[in-house]
Amino acid sequence: MFTTPELEAIRKDFPILFRTLADDRHLIYLDNAASTQKPKPVLQTFQKFSESSYANIHRGVYRLSLEATEAYDQARKTIANFIKAKSEVEIVFTRNATEAINLVAYGFARKYFHPGDEIVLTELEHHANLVPWQQVCQATGAKIVAIPFEPDGSIDVEKVIAAFSARTKMLAITGCSNVFGTIIPLKSIISAAKQQRIVVLVDGAQLVPHYPINVQELECDFLVASGHKMLAPSGIGFLYGRREWLALMDPMLYGGDMINEVWIDRATWAEIPNKFEAGTPNIEGAVALGKAAEYLQHIGLMRIHQHSEALANYAASALQQLPNTRVLGSSNRSGIVTFLCTDVHPHDLASFLDAEGIAIRAGHHCTQPLHRKLGVPATARASFYLYNTQDEAERLIEAVEKAIHFFSGKKVFFGQPPVLKET
């Protein structure tokens, strides 16, 4: 974990953490798996660019436009360095990880998949890494092969590898579960996929903000991430794609700035990555995303992972001691603790904690198939990040215990704690 002086210095960078709520409580923000807060360097970069350097990019020859273009292009280089891509042309700016997955599904999978082809994924996947592939299957006749998760929320590597066949065209897999916090052993899985020439897409929405990534060593073909989960503004994310695949893909959006030449009856496309960035992009967001990546690199992603995981494991251990409370997943949590209280509906619990100044998430977390297998409609999730403290984790435990006492004796929503079905 970070030392106390280090953590105090980090927290000073996040103005929202010092917000005082109506009852004079300080905000305790534990919904980082959904979206993270933004540090001063990112906020200042966004504001400064908007105030003094904004103009449309790639189209003007005047100074302001050239400055904006340089800042936008530098952000692309920063992201390429952040994940160790070979070249910045392998980075496509998107609105978020969801759009990035859809771009691959539309521009690659729909173009090259055929009836009977298979897409292997896991039961841990966020809807964003499931629904686009469902649409691909409906359009092409391909089919999904879903690997079950284990009772502790992990994925059995051998089961994934055993699912590969001559018909497997793609492996679309999360790098980290947004429910269990499980970090998937990607290297061994991808290595096996590469031996069978299977294209691999990694959903890095939860992994990239917490863990150092080297896409060349990982050997994935595609990687996606969202800026709002890694200290940047919402509405910006990126797709990493190997140059050879991006060159073969079709654009998903058409219009200005993604063309080479246009006639009345036809057009040709710009080189990568520009052919995938139609219209005026989120220029300020991209510049701020670059600054967020620099901020994370400066602190150290492995240290961020260790800090978040330690807090999550501490909270999980304490929650398990509370009456009628069940924590999902194993000790490999990557900052995420998802749990159930028998006597308290997750939405009631989240509302109760909100009154205590604590922000957590309640619901199905865009993983309805996972929750359906658990036999529950919703769970509660607390997720920690680099600016959270052990004191905040302790406050969470105290508030959950208080909620259990408050709701005890009232109608039980879940009955007995659910048991995972054997697979």
Active site residues: 366
In whole angstroms, what is the distance from residue 206 CA to residue 133 CA? 19
Residue that is written with structure tokens 């600016």 in the block: 387
Which tokens is 377 given?
A: 């409609």
- From 96, 97, 230, 221, select the one nearest 170 (Cα to Cα): 221
In whole angstroms, what is the distance from residue 367 CA to residue 388 CA? 25
In angstroms, how far is CA 133 from the centroid of its own chain? 18
For β-strands 222-226 and 199-203, DSSP reports them as parallel
Distances (CA, A) of 130 to 125, 126, 201, 302, 342: 6, 7, 12, 29, 30
Helices first, then strands: H and E counts in the chain: 15, 15
In whole angstroms, what is the distance from residue 24 CA to residue 137 CA? 52
Q: 265-281 as b/e, with b when 16 or more CB fall inside 10 Å?
A: eeeebbebbbbbbbeeb
